[in-house]
Amino acid sequence: MSCHPYEEENCYCDEGARIGAPVYPFSLDAYDPKEGFFATVSLDALKEQKKWCVLFFYPADFTFVCPTELADLATKHDALTRMGCEVISVSTDTKFAHLAWRQSETMLADVTFKMAADPTGEISRYFGVYDEETGLALRGTFIINPEGVLVSSEINFYNVGRNAEELVRKMEANIYLLDHPAEACPAKWVPGAKTLTPSEKLVGKVGEALK
The residues that are catalytic are: 66
- 3-state secondary structure string, 125-174? HHCCCEECCCCEECEEEEEECCCCEEEEEEEECCCCCCCHHHHHHHHHHH
User: Would you state the pLDDT for residue 5?
Assistant: 37
Please give the Cα distance from 89 to 19 (Å, whole number). Answer: 20
Domains and CATH numbers, the chain: 8-179 (3.40.30.10), 181-211 (no CATH)
Mean pLDDT by 10 residues, the chain (211 residues): 39 76 97 97 98 98 98 98 98 98 98 98 97 98 98 97 98 97 96 96 95 91
Amino acid making up residue 202: L
Cβ–Cβ contacts within 10 Å for residue 15, how many?
9
User: Would you state the pLDDT for residue 15?
Assistant: 77
User: Would you state the pLDDT for residue 14?
Assistant: 60
- Largest Cα–Cα distance in the chain? 58
Cβ–Cβ contacts within 10 Å for residue 75, how many?
12
Please give the Cα distance from 25 to 109 (Å, whole number). Answer: 30
User: How do residues 151-169 score in pLDDT, each as one tens digit?
Assistant: 999 999 999 999 999 999 9
Question: Helix axis angle, 164-179 relative to 65-75, nearest 10°?
Answer: 50
Q: In sequence order, what are the residues at sequence separation of 6 or more whose Cβ sits closer than 8 angstroms to the Cβ of residue 199? A: none
How many C-alpha atoms does 32 have within 13 Å on its Cβ side? 11
* DSSP single-letter state for residue 64: S
Please give the Cα distance from 189 to 204 (Å, whole number). Answer: 20
Cβ–Cβ contacts within 10 Å for residue 2, how many?
6
Tell whether pTM > 0.85. Answer: yes
